[in-house]
Amino acid sequence: MTEIGEGTAGTILAIPGHDGATVTLAWAAVTDVGRKRAANEDSYLVSPPIFAVADGMGGHLSGDVASAAVVNRLSEIVVGDFATTADIESALEIASSDIAVVAGESEIGVGTTVTGAVLTVDDDGSAFFTVFNIGDSRVYQFERNDLRQVTVDHSLVQELVQAGIISPAQAYDHPDGNIITRAVGFEPAPVPDYSRVPLRAGLRLLICSDGLTGELKDDRLRLHFAAGLTPSETASALVDAALASGGRDNVTVVVVDVLDVSESSVL
């Protein structure tokens, strides 16, 4: 397990291209080994402009090394308050090379999921979160009492849902739920999917490993967000709920709040 950044913090960032315009963020991160695993193979990064969670695979040592490689390489692109998709892809390519060294010494595959949100500014000056993911760790968006899953899992079960073979309800407890179809480390060039989430005051993001979503359905997640607690209180409550529901896997939760955006023209 690797933790980068302050677990509970906040900051005010200047938005490039808009004199005096700022965005105010608050966040919290909590991780737990769970009730069934011997080691925590999750890692996280909470350091603007990047908030990310990685869930390693490949056994106790190798999985931890894989997830650590991703968050460490992503942390190296933090040279300003905003970043680009090119920065993300460069970091993931280097991390993939790091993981290949470990995989070469292992008899089983070594890799990691990764998902997160990166503060980005367009050429026209529009500021937003770029959400990215590889694997089945997720990002959710909570706004105006509505919870929406932003990312789409790269998993066998998700492909079955999209093909109409099983329903979303059947996917929750499917026996092949741990089979992912995309990861960092199992292929030469990691390919993230991207989504764009505008910066708006009142927006809350949840970034998590499947140790959370494997225990709590979306309606439970929404109830925790609707409670209106702080990022720290919410992250801790979600982890506690996952443990109470079984804690079958490592669980990592990052909650990011947009408290204020000072200029409407950046939306």
Q: Which domains does the chain have, with CATH numbers?
A: 2-261 (3.60.40.10)
Structure tokens at 141: 């968006």
Q: What is the Cα–Cα distance from 7 to 236, expressed in whole angstroms?
A: 11
Q: What is the pLDDT of residues 48-63, one digit of tens each?
A: 999 999 999 866 568 8
Burial bucket for residue 238 (CB in 10 Å: 0-12, 13-18, 19+): buried
Q: What is the mean pLDDT of residues 108-125?
A: 89
Task: Report which secondary-structure segment, H or E, holds 171.
Answer: helix 168-172
% of the chain residues with pLDDT over 90: 67
Structure tokens at 124: 């026209």
Q: What is the pLDDT of residues 201-213, one digit of tens each?
A: 999 999 999 999 9
Put residue 225 in one of left, alpha, beta given phi > 0 → left and psi -120 to 50 → alpha: alpha
| Distance set, CA 177 to CA 33, 37, 154, 157, 160 (Å) | 19, 17, 11, 6, 11
36: pLDDT strictly greater than 50: yes
Give the per-residue pLDDT at 265.
44
88: pLDDT strictly greater than 70: yes
Give the per-residue pLDDT at 108.
63
Q: What is the Cα–Cα distance from 42 to 113, expressed in whole angstroms?
A: 9
Task: Report which secondary-structure segment, H or E, holds 147.
Answer: strand 146-149
263: pLDDT strictly greater than 50: yes
Give the per-residue pLDDT at 267.
46
DSSP code at position 15: P
154: pLDDT strictly greater than 80: yes
Q: What is the mean pLDDT of residues 90-106?
A: 84
